[in-house]
Amino acid sequence: MRSSRRHFMLGAGGCAACMSGLASARVLPTDLDPLIDVGYEPVDADERGMWQSMEQIEETIQASPQLLNSPQLQGYTAGIIERLLGRETPDLRLYLIRSALFNASMFPTGMMIVNTGLMARVRNEAQLAAVLGHEAGHYYRKHSIERYRSLRNKTAAMAWVGAAANVGAGAYAGGANGSNWIYAASAINTAVTMSVFQMSRAQEEEADAYGISLMSHSGYSPDAASQIWKQLIEERKASAEERDKRYSDRSRSVLSTHPPTEDRMRDLADTAAFLAKRGDQRVTDGRAEWLAAVAPHRAMLLDEQIKLNDPGASLYLVESLAQDGWTGLLRYNEGEIYRLRAEAGDHEKAAAAYAAATTLPDAPSEAWRAHGYAQLKAGKVEDGRHALNHYLAMNPEAKDAGVVRYTLAQ
Amino acid sequence: MRVKPVLAILLLSLTGCVAPQQQLTSVGFVPPGGNPRIIVMRPDIAVDLLTAGGLLERREDWTNTARDNVLASLQSLQARRGGATRVAITRASAGGEDATVIELNKLHAVVGQSVLMHKFSAQASLPTKDGVFDWTLGELAVQYGEQSGYDYALFLYARDSFSSRGRVALQAVGYLGCMVGVCAVAPGGMQTAFASLVDLKTGELVWFNYLQSPEGDIRTQDGADVLVWTLLDSMSAKT
C-alpha cells in the first residue's frame, strides 16, 4: 500500500555512513508523485460517501462567521500554493479561519483550512509555504481515504478477534483458561490500535517530505520547514516555564497522530540539507513579502493570541517579532500581556510598556488609553489626562469614548 | 443488509438488548390555529453502511435516494393536509439567506440531538428539563422568519444505517458465543430520526417527535413513508 515510501538508509545504499546525518529522514522527498490530478472525481462508494460528508462540512464553513474575510491575505496565500505547485490550483480551495491555535488542515475533497493562529506565528513566506506544501501532500497522496480504509480493515480485524475469543472462552469455560482467550485478544487488539496511530504518523512524515519537495522545486528555502518546529518548541518551553511546568511534547506518545515534534524538526532539517547539497537553484524565504502581506492583520493576530491567556507563549511571540525592532503595536501588546497576567510587578511593567508604545509613531489608539489610565493610577494626573485626550482625538467614535470622557470630567 | 425479522426476534429473546420503537411527543402541544404559513425545511438525511468493525461509512447513493424518498413522502403528506404549507425541495427554495438556512439546519441537528439525549433518554435526563420543554433555535430562527415570511418551520433529521456482510457474519459468530455462554453480539444497523416544529416568531421548538428503530429502510419509498408518517402523525392528527 505504501510502496512509494522508502527508508532513506536503503535509498542511500552503500553511502549511508557518509550521509549519517540523514539516517533519521525516513521519506525521501524525491519519490513522491501526486496520486490525483485536477478534476479528480472519486468512483468507489466509500470515497464518494466521504466526499459527500466533506462537501457538507465545506458548505457550513463557507457560511461560517469564523471565516477571516480578507481577499488580500486569501489571494496572497493562494498565490503561494500556486507557486508551490507551479500551476493554477482550482482543485484546492483555501479557507482562512479565525482560530488562535497553531493549525492547518486538509480535507480529501481539496478543502484546505489555515488558522489565523498559524499566520500569527510564521516569520516568512517560506514558513507558510512549508505548511501549505505539507497539507497539499496529504491531499495529493490521498491520505484521508487511505487512512480510513486502513482503519476499516483494522477495526474489522479487531472485532473478529474479539468475537472469536468470546467463542473460544465460552467453549473452554469448563477448563481453567477461559480468560486467557480474552487476554490474548486484548493484547492483539492493543497492537492493532497502536498500528492505527503509527500509520497516521507515517502519513505525517510523508506529507512533510512532500511539502519540502514542493518548496525546493519552487525556490523556497527548505530550511523554513524545520524552523517552524524550532520556533514552536521554543514557544511551548516558554509557555511551560511561565506556568512552572516542565515542557513535555505530547506527540511523544504511541497514541499520537503526529510524530514527535523534535523528530519532525530534525527530519526536515536533514532533508533540507540533503536538498541543499543537490540543489542548483537560488532559494528565498520571502520575508519582505510576508511582512507586507501580514501587516494589516498583525493587530488582530496579536489580540487573538493574547486572549488565549498564555502569557509565556504570548511574550515569546511578541519578543520574537520585536527582534526586528519594537513597534508601538508590539509594545502595547507587551503591556496587555503583563496587565492580564497581573502578577507582582506586572502593573509597573505594563505601564512601562504602554509608555514606550506612545513614544513610537505607530502606537494604536488603545495604547494611549492604556497609558492614560496607567498614569492616572500612578498619580500622574496631568500625563494621564493628556494621554486620554490623545486617545479621544485619535478615536472620537470609540465605543468607550463616553467612559473616558467621564473619567476626564472627574 | 438488515438483520432478518426472525433473527431479530431470536436476538431479542436471547439478549433482550434490542430497543423497541419508541415515540414521544412534547407535552401540551396545541397545533397552530388559523392558516399559518409553514415551511418544511429540506430534510437532513444520511444513510450509512455499518462496517464489520463498527464504523459508519457514508453511502452517497443511498443518502440521495433516501432524501428523494423522504421529500416525496413529505409532499404527499402535505397534499393530504392542504393549507399554506410549502416543502423546500432544495435549500434555496426555503427562502431566507443561504448562510442563515445552512446554520439553522445545523443548529436544529445539534439541538434535536440534545433533546433526544437530555429529555428522552433515561441515562442523561436533566432535572432542569423535568416537566418542561423549553428548547429553542433562538434569534437565528427569528431572523430566518423575518427573511422568509414564514410563521413556522418544520425540520426533519434522519440517519439510517445498514450492516455490511462482514457485520452480519460477525453477529452470527456473536450468537455462537451466546450459545456457549459468552454473549456479546455486535449491534446492527439502526434508524434514528426526529422532527421539530419551530415557531419563527420566538425561535422555540413547539413540538418534537422522534423514533429509534432497528427496523425500517428509508432507501425505499414505503420505508420513507413509514418514517414520515410515524414522526409527523401525532402533529397532523390534531389539526
A244 vs A313, higher pLDDT: A313
Q: Are residues A85 and A204 in the same domain?
A: yes
B20 pLDDT band, cuts 50/70/90, is very low
CB contact, 8 Å: B51 with chain A? yes
Q: Are residues A156 and A247 in the same domain?
A: yes
| Amino acid, res. B220 | T
Out of A361-365, B156-160, B171-175, pick the least confident. Answer: B171-175
Which whole number is the average pLDDT over B83-103?
Answer: 87
Helices (H) and strands (E) counted in chain A, each on its own, are 17, 3
Angle between helices A401-409 and A365-377 (to 10 degrees): 30
Q: Are residues A272 and A365 in the same domain?
A: no
A186 pLDDT band, cuts 50/70/90, is confident
Q: B53 to chain A: which residues are within 8 Å by CB?
A: 151-159
CA A321, A324, A325, A329 dihedral sign is: negative
Q: Is the ipTM of this complex over 0.85?
A: no
Q: What is the pTM of this model?
A: 0.84
Q: Is B42 helix (H, G, I), strand (E, B) or coil?
A: coil
Helices (H) and strands (E) counted in chain B, each on its own, are 6, 7
List Cβ neighbours of B33 (8 Å cut-off, separation of 6 or more). none
**Cα–Cα distances in angstroms (integers) from residue A268 to residues A23, A127, A207, B238, in the given order:** 12, 12, 11, 68
Q: Report the alpha-carbon distance of residue B220 to residue A303 in Å, rounded.
A: 54
DSSP β-ladder status, B152-163 and B44-50 = parallel
First to last CA, chain A: 75
Cell of B202: 420566538
B28 pLDDT band, cuts 50/70/90, is low
| Amino acid, res. B237 | A
Q: Is A201 helix (H, G, I), strand (E, B) or coil?
A: helix
> B142, B202 in Cβ contact below 8 A?
yes
In the predicted model, is pLDDT for residue A19 greater than 70? no
Q: Are residues A338 and A253 in the same domain?
A: no
- Number of structural domains, chain A? 2
A172 pLDDT band, cuts 50/70/90, is confident
B81 vs A287, higher pLDDT: A287
pLDDT of residue A256: 84
Burial of B19 (0-12, 13-18, 19+ CB in 10 A): exposed
Residue B137 CA to its chain's centroid (Å): 17
> B204, B198 in Cβ contact below 8 A?
yes
In the predicted model, is pLDDT for residue A253 greater than 70? yes
In the predicted model, is pLDDT for residue B8 greater than 50? no
Taking the CA of residue A130 as centre, how many other CA atoms within 13 Å lie in the half-sphere pointing to its CB?
A: 32
CA distance A306 to chain B (A): 29
Q: Report the alpha-carbon distance of residue A63 to residue A45 in Å, rounded.
A: 28
B123 vs B198, higher pLDDT: B198
**Considering only alpha carbons, which residue of chain A is nearest residue B55?**
A152
CB contact, 8 Å: B173 with chain A? yes
Q: A161 to chain B: which residues are within 8 Å by CB?
A: none
Q: Are residues A273 and A335 in the same domain?
A: no
Residue A137 lies in a domain: yes
Taken as a whole, chain B contains a residue count of: 239
The residue behind cell 472627574 is A410
**Cα–Cα distances in angstroms (integers) from residue A58 to residues A51, A67, A111, A179, A235, in the given order:** 10, 12, 7, 48, 32
Which whole number is the average pLDDT over B164-185?
Answer: 87
Identify which of A52, A152, A164 has the shortest CB distance to residue B51: A152
Q: Report the alpha-carbon distance of residue A145 to residue A106 in Å, rounded.
A: 12
pLDDT of residue A17: 32
Q: What is the pLDDT of residues A108-139, one digit of tens each?
A: 999 999 999 999 999 999 999 999 999 999 99
Report which of B226, B55, B230, B17 is spatially closest to residue B8, judged by C-alpha positions.
B17
Q: Are residues A268 and A331 in the same domain?
A: no
Which whole number is the average pLDDT over A208-236?
Answer: 92
In the predicted model, is pLDDT for residue B18 greater than 60? no
Q: Report the alpha-carbon distance of residue A210 to residue A358 in Å, rounded.
A: 46
B27 pLDDT band, cuts 50/70/90, is low
Q: Report the alpha-carbon distance of residue B11 to residue A53 in Å, rounded.
A: 33
Q: Are residues A216 and A333 in the same domain?
A: no
The C-alpha angle A365, A369, A374, rounded to 5 degrees, equals 145
pLDDT of residue B108: 97
Question: CA torsion angle for B171, B172, B173, B175 (degrees, to 10)?
Answer: 90
Q: Are residues A178 and A273 in the same domain?
A: yes
CB contact, 8 Å: B52 with chain A? yes
pLDDT of residue A123: 95
The whole-chain average pLDDT of chain A stands at 88
The C-alpha angle B145, B146, B150, rounded to 5 degrees, equals 40
DSSP-assigned letters across all residues of A44-60: SHHHHHHHHHHHHHHHH
pLDDT of residue B176: 86
In the predicted model, is pLDDT for residue A27 greater than 90? no
Residue A311 lies in a domain: no
Out of A16-30, A142-156, A344-358, B160-174, pick the least confident. Answer: A16-30
CA distance A114 to chain B (A): 21
Residue that is last in its domain, among A222, A248, A278: A278
pLDDT of residue A264: 87
DSSP β-ladder status, B44-50 and B56-58 = antiparallel
DSSP β-ladder status, A111-115 and A104-106 = antiparallel
> A112, A132 in Cβ contact below 8 A?
yes
CB contact, 8 Å: B140 with chain A? no
Which whole number is the average pLDDT over B61-85?
Answer: 90
Which whole number is the average pLDDT over B117-129?
Answer: 86
Cell of A49: 460517501
Interface contact B177-A163, CB threshold 8 A: yes
Residue A115 lies in a domain: yes
Q: Report the alpha-carbon distance of residue A76 to residue A129 in Å, rounded.
A: 11
Q: Are residues A229 and A82 in the same domain?
A: yes
Question: CA torsion angle for A191, A196, A199, A205 (degrees, to 10)?
Answer: -110
Q: Are residues A200 and A138 in the same domain?
A: yes
Residue A318 lies in a domain: no
In the predicted model, is pLDDT for residue A331 greater than 80? yes
Q: B99 to chain A: which residues are within 8 Å by CB?
A: 62-63
Q: Which domain holds residue A65?
A: 45-278
Q: What is the pLDDT of residues A38-64, one digit of tens each?
A: 989 999 999 999 999 999 999 999 989
Interface contact A60-B103, CB threshold 8 A: yes
> B66, B218 in Cβ contact below 8 A?
yes
Q: Are residues A263 and A376 in the same domain?
A: no
Which whole number is the average pLDDT over B105-123?
Answer: 92
The residue behind cell 530534525 is A266
pLDDT of residue B30: 63
Q: Report the alpha-carbon distance of residue B118 to residue A9 in Å, rounded.
A: 57
A180 vs A49, higher pLDDT: A49
Per cent of chain A over pLDDT 90 is 68
In the predicted model, is pLDDT for residue A31 greater than 80? no
Q: Report the alpha-carbon distance of residue B102 to residue A119 in Å, rounded.
A: 28
Report which of A61, A72, A5, A73 is spatially closest to residue A33, judged by C-alpha positions.
A5
In the predicted model, is pLDDT for residue B151 greater than 90? yes
Per cent of chain B over pLDDT 70 is 84
Residue A51 CA to its chain's centroid (Å): 24
**Cα–Cα distances in angstroms (integers) from residue B145 to residues A353, B75, B152, in the given order:** 50, 21, 8
Specify the CATH number for the domain of residue A364. Answer: 1.25.40.10
> B83, B34 in Cβ contact below 8 A?
no
pLDDT of residue A276: 77
DSSP-assigned letters across all residues of A192-238: HHHHHHHHHHHHHHHHHHHHHHHHHHTTB-THHHHHHHHHHHHHHHH
Residue A313: other Cβ atoms inside 10 A: 24
CB contact, 8 Å: B63 with chain A? yes
CA A225, A226, A230, A232 dihedral sign is: positive
Residue A136 lies in a domain: yes
Q: B98 to chain A: which residues are within 8 Å by CB?
A: 63
Angle between helices A298-306 and A311-321 (to 10 degrees): 160
Residue A331 lies in a domain: yes
Residue A274 lies in a domain: yes
A167 vs A40, higher pLDDT: A40
Find the largest Cα–Cα distance for chain B: 63
Residue B39 CA to its chain's centroid (Å): 17
pLDDT of residue A77: 98
What are the residues of chain A with a beta carbon less than 8 Å away from any beta carbon of chain B?
45-46, 48-53, 59-60, 62-63, 151-160, 162-164, 166-167, 169-171, 173
CA distance B25 to chain A (A): 30
> A147, A199 in Cβ contact below 8 A?
yes
Which whole number is the average pLDDT over A157-184?
Answer: 79
Q: Is B47 helix (H, G, I), strand (E, B) or coil?
A: strand
B239 pLDDT band, cuts 50/70/90, is very low
Question: CA torsion angle for B115, B117, B121, B122 (degrees, to 10)?
Answer: -120
Per cent of chain A over pLDDT 70 is 90
Residue A358 lies in a domain: yes
Which whole number is the average pLDDT over A314-340?
Answer: 96
Q: Are residues A220 and A369 in the same domain?
A: no
B60 pLDDT band, cuts 50/70/90, is very high
CB contact, 8 Å: B9 with chain A? no
pLDDT of residue A387: 97
Q: Report the alpha-carbon distance of residue A126 to residue A354 in Å, rounded.
A: 33
Interface contact A154-B98, CB threshold 8 A: no
Q: A50 to chain B: which residues are within 8 Å by CB?
A: 58
CB contact, 8 Å: B149 with chain A? no
Q: Report the alpha-carbon distance of residue A337 to residue A312 in Å, rounded.
A: 9
Taking the CA of residue A293 as centre, how many other CA atoms within 13 Å lie in the half-sphere pointing to its CB?
A: 23
